[in-house]
A and B are shown apart, each in its own frame.
Chain A
Amino acid sequence: MQCPKCRAPMQSFSRSGVQIEQCSGCRGIFLDYGELEALSRFEAQWSQQAPPPAPPGPGAQSYPSPPAPAWGAPQQGHHGHHGHHGHHGHQRGFGRMLFSS
């Protein structure tokens, strides 16, 4: 599929179970009919869940902490859901590490 704006190819990917197309050129996003509503619905669910920690388990949909190994960094969610990652104090740039072998 080609981007209607800049003609670059669009790439499909899934967010919270909704398939969206993003242009690899201008990064614009195309939503099919009803997908915006689906995303809004997920957002509403997420806001409701946000104040208390979201219940763990396979049912949690919107941005659950991804599974992590037993040796994962302690701040990550393998002991439950910690919401967003405001604790990455050093996470301003990327560090050279992410750009080399």
Chain B
Amino acid sequence: MQQHDAPDPTALTTALAGLVRADRGGHGAPHPGPPGPATDPLVLADRADGTVVRLGDTVAKAHAPDCDAAELALRLRVAAHPDLAGVLLPPLPPGTVARLDDGRAATLWPYGVPVDPDAPDDAPWEAAGTLLAHLHAVRPDALRRSLGCGPLPTARGPLKAARAVERMRAALTAPAPAPVRARPPEPASAHATTPHAVAAHLVERVWAGLPAWCRAEAGAGPPGTDVPPTPALCHGDFHLGQLVRAPAPYGPWRLIDVDDLGTGDPVWDLARPAAWFAAGVLPPEAWQRLLHAYRYASAERGGDPWADDPWPRLDAPARALTAQTAATAVAKAVAEARPFDAYEEALVSACARIAAIPEHGRGDGRTLVRPARRTPGKRTPRR
């Protein structure tokens, strides 16, 4: 868990717990339950981009300080919309954005049971693929008309990748790592050869070689293949922490966290697991299960847009997410003054392999084209 520039977590926890209690009081819907989690707030996540506290069957989230409250309110309405029933976990009624004393936006949700990190065999890969397919099948225009709102926010997949690279750069130039474990700063010459610095160099090479549309650059969206004809509703930050069973404990799986939800190219939601698979941290079978379920459910909802080999479409975004994940790993490892773990090493190695591809980043940034159709069962296009 990243802890950097988080405000006083205790005060935030108290504020969020207060919000839950106020909500219960206001709606006369007490769920007292047994003592324990019902009465003592439990911090589920505490990150710069959000702090999540559970109190009984309710979860309160303080969103990132720079979160756009108007966009968040719209994203909440999307999560509460009947078209998304069975896909996104709806917020607790009335589904509005509250303000904490420090100005941060906060929202209330029912508690759901997350994926167990210690039980890989139980990971709901089929449910994940099905939920993403159903999300992507929602027509943004129809949804917008039904909500009677302006344009929906943009999904933040590429933007988050860009942010991760910025965060890595900031971590590398930060004066001192963890405040508690103060260490003497390393001499600049030694710095250039640390594993972290080498990894950062590889991330930068991958990042620099990506086409602009993968780097969330202003104006990126060149003609032809770069903009999908019909933008879909996308999660924007899919990973295993975004799935819960609700109602707890045996309810169906639902997607949570709408902070990055919006319209965009659905390939970004698949690109992160694709990047894990390509890096070797996700077993082929798990990737296969996710992809099978996704394609099956997509076909049920009006067409499987993917050829048998999804990599022509996935390749560039998966490279971007490989860079993003490795950049996050560098930032965390530097901040915590620790070596990479095996998973992080695998992502850095994937960056090295991408950087070693002669075609990567060559020319006008359009190296990674996404042809509409390809012969199935073969390899990545290298043109």
Contact = CB atoms under 8 A, between A and B. Distances in A.
Given A88-B280, A94-B117, A99-B117, 10 more contacts: A8-B251, A69-B314, A70-B379, A72-B353, A73-B278, A92-B120, A93-B118, A94-B120, A95-B342, A98-B240
Given A58-B376, A85-B283, A99-B115, A70 B382 contact: yes
Contacts of B300: 12
A68 B311 contact: yes
Contacts of B318: 69
- Mostly, the B contact residues are helix
A11 B284 contact: no
Interface residues of B, number: 70
Nearest to B343: A95
Contact of A95 (B123, B341, B380): B341
B281 A97 contact: yes
Interface stretch (A31-39, A44-52, A75-83): A75-83
Interface string A7-35: 01101111100010010111000000000
B282 interface: yes
A28 B61 CA distance: 33
A96 B344 CA distance: 10
B349 A73 contact: yes
A85 B293 CA distance: 20
Interface of A: 6, 8-9, 11-15, 19, 22, 24-26, 57-58, 63, 65-73, 75-78, 84-85, 88, 90-101
Interface stretch (B18-26, B51-59, B69-77, B126-134): B126-134
A29 to B, nearest CB: 11
A70 B357 CA distance: 8
7 contacts: A8-B252, A24-B253, A66-B284, A90-B343, A94-B123, A98-B276, A100-B1
A85 B283 CA distance: 7
Contact of A66 (B118, B288, B293, B315): B288
Nearest to B329: A97
B196 interface: no
B15 interface: no
B126 A11 contact: yes
A43 B117 CA distance: 30
Contact of B239 (A57, A93, A100): A100
Contacts of A63: 285, 288
Given A97-B325, A99-B239, A100-B239, A66 B343 contact: no
Contacts of B239: 98-101
A41 B343 CA distance: 37
A100 to B, nearest CB: 6
Contacts of A91: 120, 281, 283
Given A24-B127, A67-B378, A69-B315, A12 B296 contact: yes
B143 interface: no
B377 A67 contact: yes
Interface in B361-378: 376-378
A73 B343 contact: no
B353 to A, nearest CB: 4
Contact of B342 (A6, A58, A90): A90
B350 interface: yes
Interface string B101-135: 00000000000000101101001001101100000
A66 B306 CA distance: 14
Contacts of B293: 11, 13-14
B106 to A, nearest CB: 20
Contacts of B252: 8-9, 24-25
A24 B250 CA distance: 8
A68 to B, nearest CB: 6
B65 to A, nearest CB: 17
B316 to A, nearest CB: 10
Contact of B377 (A14, A57, A70): A57
Contacts of B123: 94
Contacts of A22: 126
A15 B129 CA distance: 13
A19 B130 CA distance: 14
Contacts of B49: 101
B213 interface: no
